[in-house]
Structure 1
Amino acid sequence: MSAPSQLPTPLLSLRGVHTHIGAYHILHGVDLQVPEGQVTMLLGRNGAGKTTTLRTIMGLWRASQGQLLFNGQSIEKVSTPEIAQRDIAYVPENMGIFADLTVAENLLLAARRARHLKALDAQRLEWLFGLFPALKKFWLYPAGKLSGGQKQMLAIARAMIEPRRLLLIDEPSKGLAPAMIRSMITALQALKATRTTVLLVEQNFMVAKALGDHVAVMDDGRVVHAGAMAELVADEALQQRLLGLSLAAHQ
């Protein structure tokens, strides 16, 4: 494994984490640090264990060995609802929106401090409308009638409706048109400017380059490289070795 660069204080740490799903051993001793107030990209080929890592952090799949520390406290035996109560939000690859509910109702459900729409933080809601104008336009539409890109924006907005200590986001650009990807990058850059800690799984390397402060690359259920995103961007040979392609090919 490549030697990691010196990182700021981690908000989230995984130490020797193993995860089994049924008879399958998916994570094989994952070591990962997510520095506070920055964006960490989790990269790797399909099947490397990236989604399993996010789901293990959220307690959706249990670590069979190892330690997960959030803000200095062990969470590997904590229930998923309690993990969410610790200000961790998760945007899964399948987005997790409620198709039969309106855009407004989806956001209200994600706002733990509001019991009705008028109780939503108006200033934060306007900020989200500025980032995702379609949410305001389709405020009372069933979420299931939105386009794929609009659903993804809603999924991200749900995680942003209240300030969070940590956001886990799984492949937000997957299947999106280039224009929608650019809009998503702009929104996530605005989130980054608030110093929210983000762990972001991504296959689009231009997204990774635009957003990442740090990077961890996974292969076969392990983290095989960790360091500054800028260092990976500048080293095409390292990109080829770790990922099998170069960022230059995606310019």
Structure 2
Amino acid sequence: MHSPTPALLTLEGVHTHIAEYHILQGVDLIVPRGQLAVLLGRNGAGKTTTLRTIMGLWHASGGKIVFDGQAITSKSTPDIAQAGIAYVPESMAIFSDLTVKENLHLAARSGPMDTARLEWIFGFFPALKKFWNYPAGNLSGGQKQMVAIARAIIEPRKLLLVDEPTKGLAPAIIQSLIAAFQELKASNTTILLVEQNFSFVRNLGDTVSVMDDGRIVHAGSMQELAEDEELQQKLLGLSLASHQ
């Protein structure tokens, strides 16, 4: 797939083995700089493995991953994070025993939290300000998701990897996430989003790639997929219209 926007991240023929399982089988993926790229696919297609491989949590057994002009295929997770990539896993991975404030403080690795950026985050997620000194484990699922995303963006990142952020969330919280991701895009943060909520990604996505059995089987513009129900049926076995 060719994009008029230069790529911030590219995967070329990436393979990932986990124990005896060959999960990623030659993944080719382009994430254009400054855009929101969506990765769709059925459960078990390899979407989470793709994010974890980019982040170095699982190492590619073949192929090449290039981020911002540098090969990161064999780099460690801390080095990849230092290069400007943040990861919000589906499990959220927050520290339940620590307060919201302590969770964000730990994520601000370069020094004290920037007050202006913190107020910007509170604008999307006012519940975080309300529960600032509460243990994160006491929050609702939606509030925990807010903490997880806030941790990832408490410092400016070049690339944000987000795994199914709307899973189990109320519509009002999903609207807050939409606003947050739109603002992040406007502030030159590139986003790679794995998601199953099609109306959510339809509103946000610039490009879309569809995975099946550890490979990319389609790549193009989100608008093209959103307007072509026949293509949706072919790739996903459903239509976006039925998920409005």
TM-score range (shorter-chain normalised) is over 0.9
Shift of 1:195: 2.0
Match status 1:228 vs 2:221:
yes
Aligned length: 244
SS in 2 for 1:63: coil
Selected match of 1:10 from 7, 10, 15? 7
CA distance in 2, matches of 1:102, 1:243: 40
Match status 1:157 vs 2:150:
yes
Selected match of 2:70 from 59, 69, 73? 73
Is the Cα–Cα contact under 8 Å of residues 218 and 224 in structure 1 kept in the other structure? yes
Shift of 1:7: 3.9
Match of 2:30 in 1: 33
SS in 1 for 2:103: helix
Gaps of 5+ in 2: none
Match of 1:43 in 2: 40
Amino acid at match of 1:13: T
User: What is the RMSD of the two structures over their aligned residues, measured on CA atoms?
Assistant: 0.9
Match of 2:83 in 1: 86
SS in 1 for 2:61: strand
Match status 1:105 vs 2:102:
yes
Shift of 1:8: 1.2
CA distance in 1, matches of 2:35, 2:50: 18
CA distance in 2, matches of 1:102, 1:210: 33
Amino acid at match of 2:207: H
Match of 1:186 in 2: 179
Match of 1:143 in 2: 136
- Identity across matched positions, percent: 70
CA distance in 2, matches of 1:236, 1:89: 33
Amino acid at match of 1:160: I
Shift of 1:147: 0.4
Gaps of 5+ in 1: none
Moved over 6 A (4+): none
SS in 1 for 2:97: coil
CA distance in 2, matches of 1:229, 1:32: 15
CA distance in 2, matches of 1:98, 1:211: 29
Amino acid at match of 1:218: M
Match of 1:57 in 2: 54
CA distance in 1, matches of 2:2, 2:9: 16
CA distance in 2, matches of 1:241, 1:7: 26
Amino acid at match of 1:20: H
Is the Cα–Cα contact under 8 Å of residues 41 and 199 in structure 1 kept in the other structure? yes
CA distance in 2, matches of 1:93, 1:129: 22
Selected match of 1:123 from 102, 116, 120? 116
CA distance in 2, matches of 1:34, 1:6: 9
Shift of 1:191: 1.4
Shift of 1:136: 0.4
